Amino acid sequence: MQKPSRTTASRTRTLSHLIGKTILHPQWITLRHDEHTLKTVCSNLNGIVADIGCADARPKRYLGPQASYLGIDYYATSTEWYETQPDVFADAQALPLKSQSLDHTLLLDVLEHLPEPDRCLAEIHRVLKPGGSLAIQVPFHYPLHDVPLDFHRWTRFGLLEAAGRHGFSVKEETALGHPLESAALSANIALSKTVLNWIAQKHVLSISLLLLPVLIPAINLLAWTGARLSREDDMMPFGYRMIWIKNP
């Protein structure tokens, strides 16, 4: 299994934390949506909420007092990649939970990393109570990440079909990102990755690192401004977010 080294991962997390949600971040286009997404998805939930593929358990901070949080993640991912500690170690495709034991589930940027996503959706349907919800978010126009565990991309229509096939009704659906924002996100990631490769190779073009603090904010600002001045267009979102409800 290919994975980032602990040193590389630690440096990447430190740098990401330093520039945070500023316009300097190559993924500012997506990161600026994160807090809104979690507030929208989590704030009104109550009962037992399972966060499948929980990583650092960030959604827990946005739940109200009536919710009981259960973080679930795969053992190797938690311990070897991200050094996190979920409440339960488990495979999302074989949940060690009783049928109809959960009120709500979160599956945020996880489904693309599962080799058999239909098994996961069937398991979530099994453990949810009738009328329970699944908040699902997946990337669409987005680079490979967490390789080799990156298997799938879905369109809106693929997600709608999967919901119906697994016994869910779609309550809400949102296309994330204007085409200009998706293009800017790809450009920023490509530029950053290329410069990092040059640095690793000790290439003469490594000096272009000095240009990134200018290029990345400029690309972000141009895309954000262009999107605000344009009509909504879901032709090329960077991701989708939906709320599915388990049918009675």
In terms of pTM, does the model score above 0.95? no
Say what the pLDDT of residue 14 is. Answer: 56
Planar angle of CA 35, 13, 185, nearest 5 degrees: 60
Mean pLDDT computed over 138-143: 97
pLDDT per residue over 167-206, tens digit each?
A: 999 999 999 999 999 999 999 999 999 999 999 999 999 9
Mean pLDDT computed over 128-141: 97
Say what the pLDDT of residue 79 is. Answer: 87
Q: Which whole-number Å values give the CA distances from 79 to 8, 32, 134, in the listed order? A: 15, 28, 26
Task: Identify the band that residue 2 occupies on the pLDDT scale cut at 50, 70 and 90.
Answer: very low
Say what the pLDDT of residue 82 is. Answer: 84
How does the average pLDDT of the chain come out, rounded? 92
- pLDDT above 50 (res 1): no
CA distance 83 to 53: 13
Mean pLDDT computed over 81-87: 90
- pLDDT above 70 (res 4): no
Say what the pLDDT of residue 35 is. Answer: 85
Query: pLDDT over 70 for what percent of the chain?
Result: 92
Say what the pLDDT of residue 12 is. Answer: 55
Among 135, 123, 139, CA closest to 173: 135
Say what the pLDDT of residue 18 is. Answer: 62
More reliable by pLDDT, 52 or 11: 52
Mean pLDDT computed over 109-133: 98
Domains in the chain with CATH codes: 44-178+234-246 (3.40.50.150)
Say what the pLDDT of residue 91 is. Answer: 96
Mean pLDDT computed over 120-128: 98
One-letter-per-residue 3-state SS of the chain: CCCCCHHHHHHHHHHHHHHCCCCCCCCHHHHHHHHHHHHHHHCCCCEEEEEECCCCCHHHHHCCCCEEEEEEECHHHHHHHHCCCCCEECECCECCCCCCCEEEEEEECCHHHCCCHHHHHHHHHHHEEEEEEEEEEEECCCCCCCCCCCCCCCCHHHHHHHHHHCCEEEEEEEEECCHHHHHHHHHHHHHHHHHHHHHHCCCHHHHHHHHHHHHHHHHHHHHHHHHHCCCCCCCCCCEEEEEEEECC
pLDDT per residue over 34-78, tens digit each?
A: 888 899 999 999 999 999 999 999 999 999 999 999 999 999 888
Say what the pLDDT of residue 19 is. Answer: 67
- pLDDT above 80 (res 6): no
